[in-house]
Structure 1
Amino acid sequence: MKLKKTAQFFIVRIIRIADALRIFAIKTFVTLGVKRKFRILFLVNDNTKWNAQSVFEVFRKDPRFDARIFVCRQEQSESEKKTRNGYAEDCAFFRKRNIPFIPGYDESIKKDIPVSSYSPDLVFYIQPWGWTRKLYDLTTIRKKSLTAYIPYSLPICNDPNDNQLTFHQLITFFYVPSAISLKLNQKEMLNKGKNCVVSGYPKLDDYAKPVQKTKNQPKILYAPHHSFSGRLRFATFRWNGREMLEYARRHSEISWVFKPHPRLKYELVEQKIMTLEEANDYYDSWASMDNSEFYNSGDYIRLFQESDLLITDCISFLGEYLPSGNPVILLENTESAGYNELGKEIISSYYSCKAWNEVEMAIERIVIKKQDPLNEIRNNTLDRVYLKKSSSKMIYEHIVNTFFNRIG
């Protein structure tokens, strides 16, 4: 084991040197005044995890860059195809919002388009997995391009998949949300976090966009996770999923939004919690009630701003919702992997529930009686764990300083 780790360490060192040489080569071209735009591709294989819109936009404004979104297919099992049409939904997401993108699949010849066709200098990833091998995986891409990674979820739980995969060691720039995350990576990563850059979390930039809250009725978001088994085990749907739907039916004075993890329906069927027909009926119920809606897109910060309360066991949402200033009911699974230092800091200001009767009492207290004793603690936590500066600007400035030595 020690020999294997030593070999991996030297491989990582060699790759870091190769990246440094490639960076030097690009800087040399820039210094010599070679008239070619710096090409950036943002790879997307799941729109629900798209987290770099603000980063994409800031690069699009600088004429030195040619920034594009590249939507590619994610390999799906037959069971997964029954619950989600990934590529079609991803393309529809960007079309609906008039966001320009490159389709990564040529329908006319039924073939995936290689990234190398666009000769990118830098390729951004939104997640470590789900990339078609020999086309979009990191090993293939980094042969011709530098790479960057903006995690699609906030790393707040005890999960080695957040920073200890080979992917994390080999990525050129690993953008992390906070100094706490950097400290954890320096301790846990094979390369001691040498490729990590503290940049904040781009998805939170959307909080800067003003939103007008309606005062008609309180709005509650219900966002259940999918991890019933395996290394995480945060999912609690078994003891609150059906109960939450019935509670929403009984409380028409409250506006509800069902925002499940995109993998939830698949796992409900896979874990035999529901049949596919039952799962479809459950989702349809949320979508069809007069006082509720089903939301499954990746641009949900506005939804957070418009709401009054989040009820969830979704790991990343616990961190992403904090800037809203609103209370959170944390649905707790006592068998979960638990939270890291950043996660513990965040959930200390939330209302934890381990049983359905506790959830009902918490809703009564927070929404009906309007009692929120943890409000001040949340505000203090927000000041401690998140950066004030725009994340997209920090990433932009890091890239510009790395390759151009100046801003603007």
Structure 2
Amino acid sequence: MHNDKASTFKRRLAILYQLPESWANVRTVWEAARDDANLEVIVVMLPFIHNDYQWQREAAEAHLNDMGVPFLAWDAFDLDKAGLDAVLYTSPYDETRPPAYRFANLRQRVPCTAYIPYGLEVGGGEHNYVYQYGQPVTALATAVFVRSEGVRQMFARHCPTGAGHVQVTGHPRMDGLMDLANFEVDPALREAIAGRRAVLWNAHFSFDGDLWSTFDQLAGDMLDIFASRPDLALVFRPHPLLWQKLINLNILDASGILALKNELLARGVIVDGRADHRHAFAASEAMMSDVGSFLMEYLGTGKPVLYLCNPDGLGLNEEGSAVVRHYQSTSDALGICKFLDQLSHGEDAQGASRRAAIDDFFHGFNGQAGQRVVAVLKELMA
């Protein structure tokens, strides 16, 4: 036993932070652990190594500092001397981390390993099941904390080690949506919306391979449609990897991305790059989305959703197919217009049944999932 542990009797939990957008997945876990007299929680900032993402150390540090979250950088943290009792991963992908923090290495140094899914998985495709359920972290961690029994069943079907390690605690990400009506939206976003009815547009980055994105197919129509509807404000919040993907596929270069963003702004589109997606969720009255986490998560708001379906893509997994039954779907401009017409007229035929389905997809949707995760971690560390 380490001397500092002997004197304080505190268990030491490390949360691995890689992306600002993923902090929502562990924020309430960190808060619960911080407030627990029997725990010491350490946030370790790691880079996110990915061809389609330009990780910036300064931006990550600024994000944590802005939130008042104490942290240590990976390159100033001695794993061998840390005396960690548990580590919590926020990404399943080992290749996105420095070698020392990959699962096989960290597992040798930390007795309890845990993972909270970085996304609320809705994408189909056999190889995608390997990405979501077959990584070393997802298959071999001591515990994986999931949002629902439906996700646990997905692990039972698709994870090579089954679902014995999967804990249905509810997803801590959803804790932040419990009181969304009272969430303090950035005044700059409110000012940009300027009293109009705001619609959130979420585009995926998969223009190749999985083909979940409809951005390349529907963007032109989308902009024309909103240009003809001055009562509506379009809030564009794409997947974080979309911009770099456009560059990597030689669709645009860096100056072209800047020009695209400026063109969107010139056409009245609000481009939202805030780390906290709740600003866009709270300010919008509806969402249009490709396959992606938001397609599941926005259900928790109770607001209308239009699923933008790429007919050539891999489509949805079992959970994704289940949730879009409560939404409208389209692959063309006509469907977008119909959805917006209904929104403008205050029509929402699926509203009651959609809101009634929230508990089916989010276990214990009461703002306390983070506390439940910490309670299980404490049992595993005992």
TM-score computed with the length of structure 1 as normaliser = 0.81
**Letter paired with 1:391:** A
Q: CA deviation at 1:302?
A: 4.0
Match of 2:342 among 357, 365, 371: 365
Q: CA deviation at 1:76?
A: 4.5
Q: CA deviation at 1:90?
A: 1.7
Cross-structure match for 1:137: 102
8 Å contact kept, 1:238–1:273: no
SS in 1 for 2:14: strand
Match of 1:334 among 291, 311, 324: 311
Say which is worse superposed, 56-65 or 294-303, in terms of deviation: 294-303
8 Å contact kept, 1:227–1:234: yes
Match of 1:396 among 355, 374, 380: 374
Q: CA deviation at 1:118?
A: 2.8
Structure 1 gap segments, 5+ residues each: 1-24, 107-112
SS in 2 for 1:153: coil
Select the structure with the greater relative contact order (CA < 8 A; seq sep ≥ 6): 2
Instruction: Find runs of 4+ consecutive structure 1 residues off by over 6 angstroms.
Output: none
Cross-structure match for 2:327: 350
Cross-structure match for 1:62: 36
**Letter paired with 2:314:** A
Cross-structure match for 2:196: 217
Say which is worse superposed, 60-69 or 247-256, in terms of deviation: 247-256
Match of 2:136 among 166, 171, 178: 166
Q: CA deviation at 1:154?
A: 0.7
1:320 aligns with 2:307: no
Aligned counterparts, 1:100-139, within 5 A: 100-105=70-75, 113-129=77-93, 130-139=95-104
Distance in 2 between residues matched to 1:210 and 1:268, nearest whole Å: 33
Q: CA deviation at 1:375?
A: 0.9
How many residues are matched?
A: 363
Aligned counterparts, 1:26-65, within 5 A: 35-50=8-23, 51-65=25-39
Larger Rg: 1
Distance in 2 between residues matched to 1:153 and 1:163, nearest whole Å: 12
Structure 2 gap segments, 5+ residues each: 184-189
SS in 2 for 1:321: helix
8 Å contact kept, 1:44–1:69: yes
Provide Cα deviations, 1:268-298, integer angstroms capped at 9, x if missing partner.
2233443433322222334x45954322234
Match of 1:196 among 156, 166, 169: 166
Cross-structure match for 2:363: 387
Identity of aligned residues (%): 20
TM-score computed with the length of structure 2 as normaliser = 0.86
8 Å contact kept, 1:72–1:104: yes
Cross-structure match for 2:114: 148
Distance in 1 between residues matched to 2:99 and 2:202, nearest whole Å: 35
TM-aligned CA distance change 1:115 to 1:335, over 3 Å: farther
Q: Give the superposed CA RMSD.
A: 2.6
Distance in 2 between residues matched to 1:85 and 1:189, nearest whole Å: 29
Distance in 1 between residues matched to 2:333 and 2:257, nearest whole Å: 20
Distance in 1 between residues matched to 2:337 and 2:354, nearest whole Å: 22
Provide Cα deviations, 1:334-370, integer angstroms capped at 9, x if missing partner.
122232222122111111011123212321222x222
